[in-house]
Structure 1
Amino acid sequence: QAIQFGSFTLQSGVQSPIYVDLRLLVSNPEALALAASAYGNLLNELAFDRLAAIPYAGLPLGTAVALQTRSPLIYPRKEAKAYGTKRAIEGRYHPGETVVMLDDLISNGDSKLEAVKPLQSAGLEVNDIVVLIDREGGGREELEGRGFNVHSVFKLRDLLDILVQHERITLEQRGQVETFLQEQTA
């Protein structure tokens, strides 16, 4: 299950009653293709030269999207290699190009801010960030406040509504997450 309920510590250290693990998409080719298509629909509205996937969860998604859209892909390394070329960014690019950053989801935006640094340092322009799910944890607002446009296929509340409609989760589970989201933005 890509969506789990319980008590989970997010990357930010926040305790959450829901965990969304989109890394599981790589094990389901049909779901991965659907996700890539959904990203592609958002990308159709944007002007860019290449995609930049954020490691690690964003890499398989970025690869699927690059294949679907026929867009070139690069990715910033979490840590620059200490050997070989010692590159901070893998793939070919030219300073001055515009890249769209891709990731699986957004919570508070911290990982996006970290990933954008090497791209901007390399002379790449980043205006847009595209994710499958906005966890509605303030990340969209944080990034938009810094001048980025954030695009998501789903907001977490919308996804929960769909799951309730299809009887995949209970109204009680939906309510627990709603309470959590309200506390996050208070």
Structure 2
Amino acid sequence: MKNELIALLCRKSFKYSETPAFKLVSGRMSRFYVNCKPTTMSPRGMFLTGHLIFEAIRNSGASAVGGLTFGADPIAMATAFASELKGQPVNAFSIRKTQKDHGIVKWVEGDIQPGEKVVVIDDVATTGASTIKAIERARSEGLEVVRAVILVDRQEGGMDHIRAHVPEAAAIISRDELVAGWKKTVRTS
């Protein structure tokens, strides 16, 4: 499944340039661009992502999986769906970027209660800042973050920053694996 997901990401979500050509959120230029949404929102991408993330969290003791909207949302939903198929249901949740200011004011949306063990996920880690923000907001709502799982690690220090907040953190796919997959795709096309 992982190799198929790498190939799908290379076709739909990954761009590579020998010289820095892609502007990141930080303003820095990079040789790599990753936008997982075309993959994680496609039927096959949902299937692969959901199953791979579920395998990464299945023994965590978590009752829910989620992260900062919008990157984590399709992954959380795909993981919850895969967990039901595997007979070990795990709920999905979403963490808002801005706090709700009406009704019950909160950061986290989903069928989840304070005290539950959760896994925070994200689509891509560069510096880890968005994942760390999600971890902090989940904790502020009384959730126990037991693990963090990133779909794609850009290998730019983000995973180390995340591990400073959640020691049990892992990535499914590395930038090096995407580059290797991309180069293989270019050679065969």
Q: TM-score by structure 2 length?
A: 0.81
Tell me the residue number matched to 2:119: 100
Q: Which structure exhibits the higher relative contact order, with contacts defined as CA atoms closer than 8 Å and separated by 6 or more residues?
A: 2
The letter for the 1-side match of 2:14 is: I
Structure 2 counterparts to residues 1-186 of structure 1, below 5 A: 1-6=12-17, 7-69=21-83, 70-164=89-183, 167-169=184-186
Shift of 1:24: 0.4
Q: What CA deviation, in whole Å up to 9, does each residue of 1:61-116 have, x standing for no partner?
A: 11111111131112211111223333221113222211101111211111111112
Tell me the residue number matched to 1:178: none
Q: Does the Cα contact within 8 Å between 1:32 and 1:64 map onto a contact in 2?
A: yes
SS at match of 2:105: coil
CA–CA separation in structure 2 for the residues paired with 1:27 and 1:68: 14
Tell me the residue number matched to 2:6: none
SS at match of 2:131: helix
Shift of 1:25: 1.8
Change (3 A) 1:136 1:150: same
Shift of 1:41: 1.6
The letter for the 1-side match of 2:145 is: V
SS at match of 2:73: helix
Change (3 A) 1:72 1:137: same
Q: Does the Cα contact within 8 Å between 1:143 and 1:149 map onto a contact in 2?
A: no
Change (3 A) 1:32 1:93: closer
* Cα RMSD (Å): 1.8
Of all paired residues, the percent bearing the same amino acid is 24
Shift of 1:27: 4.7
